[in-house]
Amino acid sequence: MNKCAIALGSNLGDSLATLENSLAVLGNTPGIDLLATSSWYQTKPVSEVPQPDYLNGCVTLNAQQTPEELLVLLQAIELQFGRVRKEKWGARTLDLDMLLYGDHQLDTPNLTIPHPRMSERAFVLVPLAEIAPDWQEPTSGKAIAQLAAKVDQSGVELYS
Protein backbone atom coordinates (compact mmCIF):
# COMPACT_ATOMS: atom_id res chain seq x y z
CA MET A 1 0.00 0.00 0.00
CA ASN A 2 1.18 3.49 -0.82
CA LYS A 3 0.00 6.61 0.97
CA CYS A 4 -1.37 9.14 -1.51
CA ALA A 5 -2.87 12.61 -1.42
CA ILE A 6 -5.66 13.55 -3.81
CA ALA A 7 -7.17 17.00 -4.40
CA LEU A 8 -10.87 17.22 -5.23
CA GLY A 9 -12.66 20.14 -6.84
CA SER A 10 -15.97 21.00 -8.45
CA ASN A 11 -17.72 24.15 -9.64
CA LEU A 12 -20.51 22.88 -11.90
CA GLY A 13 -23.79 21.32 -10.81
CA ASP A 14 -24.34 20.28 -7.21
CA SER A 15 -20.67 20.44 -6.27
CA LEU A 16 -21.09 19.29 -2.67
CA ALA A 17 -23.07 16.20 -3.69
CA THR A 18 -20.61 15.44 -6.49
CA LEU A 19 -17.62 15.66 -4.14
CA GLU A 20 -19.26 13.59 -1.40
CA ASN A 21 -20.44 10.95 -3.88
CA SER A 22 -17.06 10.76 -5.60
CA LEU A 23 -15.46 10.13 -2.20
CA ALA A 24 -17.90 7.27 -1.65
CA VAL A 25 -16.96 5.76 -5.03
CA LEU A 26 -13.27 6.17 -4.26
CA GLY A 27 -13.68 4.64 -0.81
CA ASN A 28 -15.55 1.63 -2.25
CA THR A 29 -12.87 0.94 -4.85
CA PRO A 30 -10.91 -2.29 -4.27
CA GLY A 31 -7.33 -1.56 -3.26
CA ILE A 32 -8.15 1.89 -1.86
CA ASP A 33 -8.43 2.70 1.84
CA LEU A 34 -9.45 6.27 2.70
CA LEU A 35 -7.42 7.62 5.61
CA ALA A 36 -8.53 11.23 6.11
CA THR A 37 -10.78 13.77 4.41
CA SER A 38 -10.38 17.52 4.79
CA SER A 39 -13.15 20.03 5.25
CA TRP A 40 -14.57 21.56 2.08
CA TYR A 41 -13.39 25.04 1.09
CA GLN A 42 -15.03 27.57 -1.18
CA THR A 43 -12.34 28.98 -3.43
CA LYS A 44 -11.98 31.51 -6.21
CA PRO A 45 -11.03 30.09 -9.62
CA VAL A 46 -7.41 30.67 -10.71
CA SER A 47 -8.41 30.76 -14.38
CA GLU A 48 -8.84 33.81 -16.57
CA VAL A 49 -11.99 32.13 -17.90
CA PRO A 50 -15.07 33.48 -16.04
CA GLN A 51 -16.59 30.68 -13.95
CA PRO A 52 -18.26 30.01 -10.59
CA ASP A 53 -16.36 29.53 -7.34
CA TYR A 54 -15.11 26.04 -6.58
CA LEU A 55 -15.56 23.67 -3.69
CA ASN A 56 -12.20 22.07 -2.95
CA GLY A 57 -10.85 19.56 -0.50
CA CYS A 58 -8.25 16.84 -0.12
CA VAL A 59 -8.14 13.22 0.92
CA THR A 60 -5.33 10.95 1.98
CA LEU A 61 -5.58 7.27 1.17
CA ASN A 62 -3.64 4.07 0.91
CA ALA A 63 -3.62 2.61 -2.60
CA GLN A 64 -2.46 -0.74 -3.91
CA GLN A 65 -2.45 0.70 -7.43
CA THR A 66 0.66 2.04 -9.16
CA PRO A 67 0.64 5.80 -9.81
CA GLU A 68 -0.41 5.18 -13.42
CA GLU A 69 -3.21 2.79 -12.40
CA LEU A 70 -4.44 5.27 -9.80
CA LEU A 71 -4.47 8.05 -12.40
CA VAL A 72 -6.64 5.91 -14.73
CA LEU A 73 -8.98 5.17 -11.82
CA LEU A 74 -9.27 8.87 -10.89
CA GLN A 75 -10.00 9.83 -14.49
CA ALA A 76 -12.68 7.12 -14.72
CA ILE A 77 -14.36 8.53 -11.59
CA GLU A 78 -14.24 12.02 -13.13
CA LEU A 79 -15.99 10.67 -16.24
CA GLN A 80 -18.57 8.91 -14.09
CA PHE A 81 -19.50 12.33 -12.67
CA GLY A 82 -19.74 14.02 -16.06
CA ARG A 83 -16.26 15.49 -16.43
CA VAL A 84 -15.67 16.83 -19.92
CA ARG A 85 -12.20 18.16 -20.77
CA LYS A 86 -12.84 21.15 -23.04
CA GLU A 87 -10.37 23.79 -21.95
CA LYS A 88 -7.43 23.92 -19.58
CA TRP A 89 -8.48 25.27 -16.17
CA GLY A 90 -12.10 25.54 -17.28
CA ALA A 91 -15.17 24.88 -15.14
CA ARG A 92 -15.76 21.23 -14.29
CA THR A 93 -18.16 18.89 -12.55
CA LEU A 94 -15.28 17.03 -10.89
CA ASP A 95 -11.52 17.33 -10.79
CA LEU A 96 -9.41 14.68 -9.04
CA ASP A 97 -5.70 15.44 -8.98
CA MET A 98 -3.03 13.16 -7.59
CA LEU A 99 -0.83 15.41 -5.47
CA LEU A 100 1.51 12.99 -3.72
CA TYR A 101 2.25 9.29 -3.97
CA GLY A 102 4.37 8.45 -0.95
CA ASP A 103 7.71 10.16 -1.42
CA HIS A 104 7.84 9.23 -5.12
CA GLN A 105 8.91 11.69 -7.77
CA LEU A 106 7.71 10.92 -11.28
CA ASP A 107 7.66 12.89 -14.52
CA THR A 108 6.01 11.23 -17.50
CA PRO A 109 3.96 12.67 -20.36
CA ASN A 110 0.75 11.70 -18.49
CA LEU A 111 1.66 12.19 -14.85
CA THR A 112 3.93 14.35 -12.71
CA ILE A 113 4.30 13.61 -8.99
CA PRO A 114 4.37 15.65 -6.87
CA HIS A 115 1.72 17.68 -8.66
CA PRO A 116 3.75 20.41 -10.43
CA ARG A 117 1.70 23.38 -9.19
CA MET A 118 0.56 22.20 -5.76
CA SER A 119 3.07 24.34 -3.84
CA GLU A 120 1.63 27.49 -5.46
CA ARG A 121 -2.04 26.74 -4.79
CA ALA A 122 -3.73 27.63 -1.53
CA PHE A 123 -6.88 25.77 -2.61
CA VAL A 124 -4.76 22.58 -2.48
CA LEU A 125 -2.40 23.34 0.39
CA VAL A 126 -4.96 24.62 2.91
CA PRO A 127 -7.11 21.46 2.91
CA LEU A 128 -4.07 19.20 2.61
CA ALA A 129 -2.39 20.90 5.58
CA GLU A 130 -5.56 20.22 7.59
CA ILE A 131 -5.15 16.44 7.21
CA ALA A 132 -1.42 15.97 6.50
CA PRO A 133 0.48 18.96 7.93
CA ASP A 134 3.73 17.05 8.51
CA TRP A 135 3.87 15.20 5.19
CA GLN A 136 7.00 16.33 3.39
CA GLU A 137 6.66 17.34 -0.23
CA PRO A 138 9.58 15.38 -1.75
CA THR A 139 10.84 18.00 -4.21
CA SER A 140 11.29 20.82 -1.67
CA GLY A 141 11.62 18.65 1.44
CA LYS A 142 9.22 21.03 3.21
CA ALA A 143 6.21 19.98 5.24
CA ILE A 144 2.79 20.71 3.74
CA ALA A 145 2.04 23.07 6.65
CA GLN A 146 5.18 25.07 5.81
CA LEU A 147 4.19 25.32 2.15
CA ALA A 148 0.65 26.35 3.10
CA ALA A 149 1.95 29.10 5.39
CA LYS A 150 3.84 30.66 2.46
CA VAL A 151 0.98 30.96 -0.07
CA ASP A 152 -1.62 33.70 -0.33
CA GLN A 153 -4.72 32.17 1.21
CA SER A 154 -7.12 34.93 0.23
CA GLY A 155 -10.05 33.52 -1.69
CA VAL A 156 -9.97 30.23 0.28
CA GLU A 157 -12.76 30.06 2.87
CA LEU A 158 -14.12 27.20 4.93
CA TYR A 159 -17.40 26.10 3.33
CA SER A 160 -20.41 26.04 5.62
79 three-class SS: helix
DSSP single-letter state for residue 117: T
Question: Any residues with CB less than 8 A from the CB of 85 and at least 6 apart, and which?
Answer: none
Catalytic residues: 83, 92, 95, 97
Rounded to 5 degrees, φ, ψ at 91 are -60, 150
Amino acid at 64: Q
34 forms bridges with which residues in the sheet? 61
